[in-house]
Amino acid sequence: MSRQAQYLGIWAICSFIAALVALQLTSASYAEGTWVPAGNDSFYHARRILDAAESPGGLYQFDKSIHVPEGSWLTWPWAYDWGMAKALQGVKVLSPATDSMAFLTHVPVYWVFVNMALLVGILVVLRLPWHWSALVGVGYAVSPLTQLLHGVGIIDHHFMEHSFVLLTLLTALRWLKGPGSVSRAALLGVTLGIAPAFHTGLFILQAPVLFCLFILWLRDQSPPREAVLALATALVLATAAALLPSEPFREGQFQFSVLSWFHLYIAAISTLLISCFARFSFSPVKLVTLAVVGIALLIPIWGETIGGAAFLTRNISLLDRVMEARSPIQMLTDKGLWEAISYYSPIGLLAPLLIPVYIYRGWQARDATQLFLSVMVVFGVALLLMQFRLHYFGSFALILGWVLLANEKLSVTNRRPLLTFGIGLLILAIAFQPAAQSKLFTKYALGLDPGYQDVYTLFAPLTERCQDNPGIALADNNFGHYIRFHTECTVIANNFLMTPQHEEKIAEMEYLLELSPEELLEEAPENTRYVFARMLKFYGIRDGEAALTSTEYVKENTPRLYFELNSRDDLPDRFRVVGELPLDPGRGLTRARVVEILPAVE
């Protein structure tokens, strides 16, 4: 069998396995004949995509229905949701009867074939033998991290961000294999340039490319000038093209959190540095000059850089409580070893060791492709270790990093490929056994949120009331995206946690939720029409089994407004219950209520 056929077979088989694993999340996205998103952010993506595809207004970049009354610029740029909307419109042309949500919830599953192709392309460039390549593909396919990117209903853009990580690695390796190729260099530049249109933070992918070129410049091994200048030109032109559809850019904004002039400035800095590496040979004087110029160019973006650092370090209100913002180390200490290895596998727990190993390999590398690969492994794993949500930067390296070492150091493995493959499969089976037991094939809560599943039926009456009488639906930030997806009502806060405005709206929400019903009538923002009040922590573990917690415990862990709306029979006349779910009739409590606030009688 030819090498091409081997790699094609690996792609097909591993993609099929990954798709089957991704389909195991169907329980999180399907209920009572209806498809819903899975994961908090997926709900907002779904609403924005549906509006862009099916409403006259098309794609919006400013949403007046969130963070009311001010509204808010969306920190998610235009390209991902616009592309999804166009795909949906295309499907509707071919098959008008297609259920929009059924299609959208399965796009991440379809896309696993694309990301697997990118991964296999990387293996081809690295010339990894078939048995090692197959093991990398299988490990990637059965990883819970891959499932969380591509699972049914996970419409969040993380799987697309992962695509740009893999595409950056692939295009850079292909170029550095033949560094004189202008077209390959330009393709890398285009990849880096358009990436921020899918997520504003993806400008960071320019960093490993710059660092690699810097090291090559120090070693007097820079690629040919024409190719490097093609990279620089393509980067800045592609960035400009990606920025043109962005309303914040057209309005002259300069922020990290939205696709703006900040990103063109970053691309211009990268272009300048890349051009300097191409035009000037290394000398100590030029190094000092570049350092001074670089520091000077950072001054205008220092404030925005601090904002980005605050996100990475979770120095933003409530961000430290969000599961996906926690690090693997925090997961290990808070949730225990089993939870950590269920997501990352025991192999993943060795990830910190990859950093010193590949720093050393990069230091020793005399080949540009090996240098860049080492830089990307260190870069990706470092981000993976910072936050759970950033795993898509480094998940490719968790198995590939060790496989590359084994391929180089254990020559016997290439003399006995079938035996190596068999032993490797056994190791993977053992490593991913915790994942298979508790993650890959488990039944997940609807929307990947037990709290959402518990009160799912209450969205029907709220949707009906918001259709007839829209206004603000007061709820905690975790339910902001759910309300925006299901209804025509507006919300004060949600799980956008990036900007000072977001923090201010969280503080406003928390203040309102600690008021009594009577106080709320006096202090609620104008046009507040509903409260989605739900009890928290009403179930716990007692003697190893789930059981109702005490009323006092529920009261301590539930915002005052929520608790009183679910426990009082003497609510003011302006409060009308439009839907409720019982908790324990003997205690006179409900576990959730949708309450409408009627207009004051004059």
Compare 341 and 161 and report the one with higher pLDDT: 161
Name residues whose C-beta falls within 8 Å of residue 262's C-beta, 6 or more positions apart in sequence.
254, 255, 256, 301, 304
CA distance 350 to 156: 28
Lowest mean pLDDT among 310-314, 358-362, 398-402, 404-408: 310-314
Structure token pair of residue 398: 């968790």
User: What is the CA 99 to chain-centroid distance, rounded?
Assistant: 25
* Strand 472-474 with 528-534, pairing: parallel
Residue 342 CB neighbour total at 10 angstroms: 22
Mean pLDDT (whole number) for 185-199: 98
CA distance 538 to 557: 9
* Helix%, strand%, coil% for the chain, nearest 5: 70, 10, 25
Residue 76 CB neighbour total at 10 angstroms: 22
Q: Which amino acid appears at position 250 of this protein?
A: R
Q: Is 140 helix (H, G, I), strand (E, B) or coil?
A: helix
Structure token pair of residue 487: 């209804």
CA distance 456 to 36: 11
Structure token pair of residue 310: 């605050």
CA distance 94 to 201: 35
Read off the pLDDT of residues 69-111 as tens digits, 9 standing for 90 and up.
999 999 999 999 999 999 999 999 999 999 999 999 999 999 9
User: pTM value?
Assistant: 0.94
**Vertex 251, ends 246 and 254: CA angle to 5°?**
85
Give the per-residue pLDDT at 516.
Answer: 96
Read off the pLDDT of residues 212-248 as tens digits, 9 standing for 90 and up.
999 999 999 999 999 999 999 999 999 999 999 999 9
CA distance 228 to 214: 12
Structure token pair of residue 93: 């042309």
Q: Which amino acid appears at position 474 of this protein?
A: L
**Cis, bond preceding 300 (omega within 30 deg of 0):** no
Q: How many Cα atoms sit within 13 Å of 147 on the Cβ side?
A: 27
Phi/psi for 220 (5° steps) reads: 60, 40
Phi/psi for 557 (5° steps) reads: -105, 5
Residue 543 has pLDDT above 80, yes or no: no
Residue 272 has pLDDT above 80, yes or no: yes
CB neighbour class for 511 (10 Å; exposed up to 12, middle 13-18, buried from 19): exposed
User: What is the CA 491 to chain-centroid distance, rounded?
Assistant: 22
Q: Is 58 helix (H, G, I), strand (E, B) or coil?
A: coil
CA distance 530 to 598: 9
Run of H or E including 9: helix 3-23
Residue 302 CB neighbour total at 10 angstroms: 9
Query: b/e string for 540-572 if b means 16 or more Cβ within 10 A?
Result: eeeeeeeebbebeebbeebbebbbbbbbeeebe
When the pLDDT of each residue in the chain is averaged and rounded to a whole number, the result is 92
Query: b/e string for 114-123 if b means 16 or more Cβ within 10 A?
Result: bbbbbbbbbb
Mean pLDDT (whole number) for 575-593: 89
Residue 297 has pLDDT above 70, yes or no: yes
Residue 549 has pLDDT above 80, yes or no: yes
Read off the pLDDT of residues 483-541 as tens digits, 9 standing for 90 and up.
999 999 999 999 998 888 999 999 999 999 999 999 999 999 999 999 999 999 888 76
Say if residues 102 and 35 touch (Cβ distance below 8 Å).
yes
DSSP-assigned beta bridge partners for residue 229: none
Q: Both ends of the chain: CA-CA distance in Å?
A: 85
Run of H or E including 537: none
Residue 542 has pLDDT above 90, yes or no: no
The fraction of the chain above a pLDDT of 90, given in percent, is: 77
| Beta strand segments in 62-184, E | 62-63, 72-73
Name residues whose C-beta falls within 8 Å of residue 170's C-beta, 6 or more positions apart in sequence.
118, 121, 122, 125
